[in-house]
Amino acid sequence: MTDETSSSRHEALGLVVGLTALLSLLLIAFAWPSSQLEPRQLPVAVVGPEPVTQEIAAALSGALGQDAIEVVPVASREQAVSAIEEREVYGALLPSPEGTEVLVASAGSPAAAQLITQIGSRITSGGPPPIINDVVPLPAGDPRGAVFGTGAFPLVLGGIAAAGALSLRLRSRGTRLLGVAGVAIGAGLAFAAVLQLWLDALAGSYLANSGVIALGLAAVALLLMGLYNLLGAPGLGLGAAVILLLGNPLSAVAAAPELLPAGWSTLGQLLPPGASGTALRSVAFFDGNGAFVPLLVLAGYVVVGALLLTLPSRDRAPEADRRTSHFPRTGDALQGS
């Protein structure tokens, strides 16, 4: 066996092991958060006097665990509805001798709405079934929230692709910034048109939804472009891996942050995919309630990415530029002759 053959086999073995590890990591990153979904301090309003709310809180703690549900006492149905619309709680329980009414907001989280419905059935066990009212429903085109839940992944991929293409093909920082702005605005308008005008998966203002999507894509792209400017290709790759392997699975776009393990849920909301999903949900379905913090997070990434672009660059000219820089332009050669 020649040294060249042995080297090729070692290289092939290394690639097989590396790709197997990468694919396993991808599976773990996307599957593990889904396997850990359960309520953790999920805020639910309860309408009634203090003894009633305490009794329900004790019953829920015994059935679901000490920290599963955070019971928020409210005085009336109107206050419960207001708390849901302002994104302070995910739903409400209204027990009465005639029966229990359960208020949910499927637009806030289909998974949380289903869980609160089950809780309503649990506390009325042996009595009449609860009356379920969806205070903030999902649009008719996306009644289960599946389209909304899958919309975050193209946004992440779009931001990564834009960062890579603009960083590798454009050398001027100003041109890169203009490129990000153009891609973000165009993608925001296009994504919102598909999700809202075609698939009917979003409600609210089309332009407001477009703006949130544009900000989310710009946050991803500018952060990665800044890392590329600072660290070169390793910075771009590391940033993309963190956003893809951590940010997207922990975004809770298809669930709710309170259903993920503590700590991981916070991290997910501090990364662009989670902040984008929460901001878009708040703007599209809740008149902007609950959108301030995630929008602030996205704006922070935009600012940090722009600042990183102002630092001394570690990138190199594109390969095509390096090849042509060794040869005179046609016009210059003719003038010299």
Judge whether 246 and 262 are in contact, CB under 8 Å. no
List b or e across 30-62, with b for residues whose CB sees 16 or more CB atoms inside 10 angstroms.
eeebeeebebbebbbbbbbeeeebeebbeebee
Rounded Cα distance between 188 and 183, Å, is 8
Which pLDDT belongs to residue 65?
Answer: 82
| Residue type for position 108 | G
- Residue 24's H or E segment, with its range, is helix 3-35
Residue pair 42/112 in contact (Cβ under 8 Å)? The answer is yes
Q: What per-residue confidence (pLDDT) applies to 2? A: 67
Cα–Cα separations (whole angstroms), residue 190 to 132, 181, 183, 307: 36, 14, 10, 28
Helix axis angle for 50-64 and 110-123, nearest 10°, is 110
Pairing of strands 91-94, 101-104: antiparallel
Quote the pLDDT of residue 6: 72
* pLDDT in 10s for each residue of the chain, 337 residues: 566 677 777 777 888 887 788 778 777 777 777 777 788 899 999 998 888 888 888 888 888 888 889 999 999 999 999 999 999 999 999 988 788 899 999 999 999 999 999 988 888 766 788 999 999 999 999 999 999 988 888 999 999 999 999 988 888 888 999 999 999 999 999 999 999 999 999 999 999 999 999 999 999 999 999 999 999 999 999 999 999 889 998 999 988 999 998 888 999 999 999 999 999 999 999 999 999 999 999 999 999 999 999 888 765 444 444 444 444 444 444 344 3
